Structure 1
Amino acid sequence: MRTILITGPGGSGRTTVAAATALSAATNGTRTLVLSADRTDTLGAALGVTTGATPTQVTATLTAWRPDATRGFREDLAGFQERATAALDLLGASRLDPEEVTPLPGAEELALLRALRDAALAEAHDLLVVDLPATPHALALLSLPEELRRYLRRLLPPERQAARALRPVLGRLAGVPMPAEWLYETAARWDVELAAVEAVVADRDTVVRLVAEPGPGGADAVRSATLALALRGLRPDLLIANRVLPEAEATAGSWLAGPVAQQRKVLEEWGDEYDIRRVAHLGRDPRGVEDLAALAVPAVNDTSSTVEWPVTDRLADDGVLVWHLPLPGAARDELDLFRRGDELVVTAGQFRRIVPLPSALRRCAVDGAALRDGELRIRFAPDPALWPRTP
């Protein structure tokens, strides 16, 4: 199943574009599911239907779904309290009635991740279109599975989980309480669920599509989003220039002349770096399938290409291994890089990622780094004490 993740700055019309993308694919006979985590039913308003906790059939080949974060949060809370019964009783804690709680901030995004995983595993559709939150929140959401799995591995290493049968004995010998069985079972279940979401995001059939209005604010947002996506190993397959004003009506002295000249400059700049699709301004907020069809948003981009990140290690002439990390738009003075154990911590502006090193580079020492042509090149010198000697 192919997946299109759609995001952009707030107010750029990303939900409308997601709905139009899904409709375009469904019109061509592709079984399509479009997901959204918006609390207000913006997706349903664009499609001319009401979406909710259960999937809504819009057309014969198009389904819309807005997962219910409240129900999922309450079910998770009830399950947690059931598994932690002994610990809660020991602490004298009062149980929470699931009906009395409201979802915490971020519950909608977590519900969206779960729906993304469930839809991918069900394989009931050929295309999944995901209306992600605004770019900063979307980037945090896409990185969440990887980060949470990393935290789980640090807090509850797999090698400790493997010795479950020895825990009672170890507890008596050490004289300290050992983690309860439910804790390890919960961690293992979370790891499986997060790995499934991470697999969907990292799949070669998953692409990210940016939506922005061609103006100064949109240009800054696209530049920042491109760098952040690159740090996650992602690159937009298309840049949707939304609400493009008609140049034919921008006559001299018209109020449209200034905005049109401004958007023309931004579109020219984008054309040098991105595969752009222009979506005309309809003069109104698109509502219903007829308006969405009029936007003519493409569902498939046959010219898109995947990018491996980081680029495979290459051996320099002096015998030093060089690691190539594509970071388009990165500024030298906003880059920070340091090694911690078998991981490399890369910071680009306000974005950061902790990258595990390949086995070969773990036996090397960092020998320098340079930013050239939108690519961070890190030199690794082999450590003689860790590399086998040649006769």
Structure 2
Amino acid sequence: MRIILVTGPGGAGRTTVAAATALAEAGAGKRVALLSEDADASVEGAGLTVLRPDPAADFRREFLGFQARSAAALDLLGAAPFEDAELTELPGSRQFALLRAVRDAARGDHDVAVVDLPPTADALAVLALPEQLRRYVRRLLPPERQAARALRPMLAQLAGVPMPAQWLYETTGRWEAELAAVQAVVEAPGTGVRLVFEPGPAAVRAVRTARLGLALQGLALEAVVANRLLPAASEDPWLAGLTAEQHRHLAELRTATDVLYELPHLGREPRGAEDLALLAPVRPDAPPVPVPRWPVEDRRDEDGVLVWHIALPGAVKEELALVRRGDELLLTVGPFRRNIPLPGALRRCTVTGAGLVDGDLRVRFTPDPGLWPRSS
């Protein structure tokens, strides 16, 4: 299944572009789901299914389910249960509801799912959330601590209720499974991101920053969509001046991205499927961009090292830092940070240097003689 994630700065028209993309895919005969809280009702019934996340309902359902599963332990603690009518969603509920909706859309009977994401900064944070939370869960409640699980049923019988450790690990296991499912969808080869921008003074920098954030997460950038382009020819001097400035920024955008799609300004707010048909940003049959890979180059025979290539297009040396911590590489690039698990072979090595060459971060690892088998 193909997942198309659409984001961009607030007000750039990402919801409109997401709907136009979904309609174009449906017009090509695909079974399409459009996941959006704000999609216009006019697109419904136009050959696609509109899915609307409901953060409040999602929060109530998840909270009440957790409360029911933990009822025995909560009774032991003297906790008073909540009722559906008194629950209001907490901060962060919207992000989790969106992630679960993306997972459910990927499981549905569709060929393509188009997802209308929040503005760029929030979207990048949401896409990174599953991996981050899985790391925290494994660090705070590692599976190794469940070695004494055989004792818990016996202790539970003596106490008459499930022991806290039992329901805690059961809940943790469920969270881990859900997060893993969402992460698998986000990182799947068929998932790509489209950035929607209105050409302007800050557009190029914003595109480069967003592209770098996506690259750090290993996500594929399919295209940049330049939205609301003014007509190139106009007899009105005022409009001609605006057009010239916009097209100057558009030329800068072309140098900042590999794939750029240009959408016209309709002179009005898009209304209905007919207007959206004029704003389809890509060919429906365009293949997805491959997910970036970070290969490990074996240069032991030449230089005695292994080199890990991490693609970071647009990165600059002054904004880059990395630290080895255990079996992870803590990588900071501009405003973004990620704890990256090391490939198995590199865990038996020591970091001995790094360099950035044309957006390719090359981290050198020297094998630890005490951990590598001796060659005969």
TM-score normalised by the shorter chain: which range applies?
A: over 0.9
Match of 2:81 in 1: 95
- What is the CA-CA distance between 1:179 and the residue it aligns to? 4.2
Q: Percent identity?
A: 57
Secondary structure at 1:81's aligned position in 2?
helix
> Is 2:277 the counterpart of 1:287?
no
* Equivalent residue for 1:62, pick from 48, 67, 71: 48
1:302-331 C-alpha deviation (Å, 9 max, x unpaired): 365314332333426312111111111112
1:73-117 C-alpha deviation (Å, 9 max, x unpaired): 111111222222244334333222221121112222211211111
Report the AA paired with residue 42 of structure 2: G
Report the AA paired with residue 106 of structure 1: G
Secondary structure at 1:279's aligned position in 2?
strand
Report the AA paired with residue 68 of structure 1: D
Aligned partners of 2:229 and 2:262 also within 8 Å: yes
Report the AA paired with residue 202 of structure 1: E
Secondary structure at 1:256's aligned position in 2?
helix
Aligned partners of 2:24 and 2:284 also within 8 Å: no
- What is the CA-CA distance between 1:162 and the residue it aligns to? 5.4
Unaligned 5+ segments in structure 2 are 157-161
Secondary structure at 2:39's aligned position in 1?
helix
Distance of 2:375 and 2:298 partners within structure 1: 20
Secondary structure at 1:80's aligned position in 2?
helix
- What is the CA-CA distance between 1:230 and the residue it aligns to? 0.4
Report the AA paired with residue 277 of structure 1: Y
Match of 1:193 in 2: 178
Match of 2:305 in 1: 320
Aligned partners of 1:8 and 1:134 also within 8 Å: yes
1:136-161 C-alpha deviation (Å, 9 max, x unpaired): 11111111111111111112222333
State the TM-score, normalized to the length of structure 2.
0.92
State the TM-score, normalized to the length of structure 1.
0.89
> Is 2:289 the counterpart of 1:300?
no
> Is 2:92 the counterpart of 1:106?
yes
Indicate the larger mover: 293-302 or 357-366: 293-302
Match of 1:157 in 2: 142
Match of 1:128 in 2: 113
Match of 1:267 in 2: 250
* Equivalent residue for 1:144, pick from 122, 129, 135: 129
Distance of 2:254 and 2:347 partners within structure 1: 40
Match of 1:9 in 2: 9
Match of 1:254 in 2: 237
Secondary structure at 1:25's aligned position in 2?
helix
Secondary structure at 1:247's aligned position in 2?
coil
Aligned partners of 2:73 and 2:164 also within 8 Å: no
Aligned partners of 1:24 and 1:293 also within 8 Å: yes
> Is 2:203 the counterpart of 1:218?
yes
Unaligned 5+ segments in structure 1 are 50-56, 172-176
Match of 2:159 in 1: none
Indicate the larger mover: 253-262 or 27-36: 253-262
Distance of 2:77 and 2:22 partners within structure 1: 50
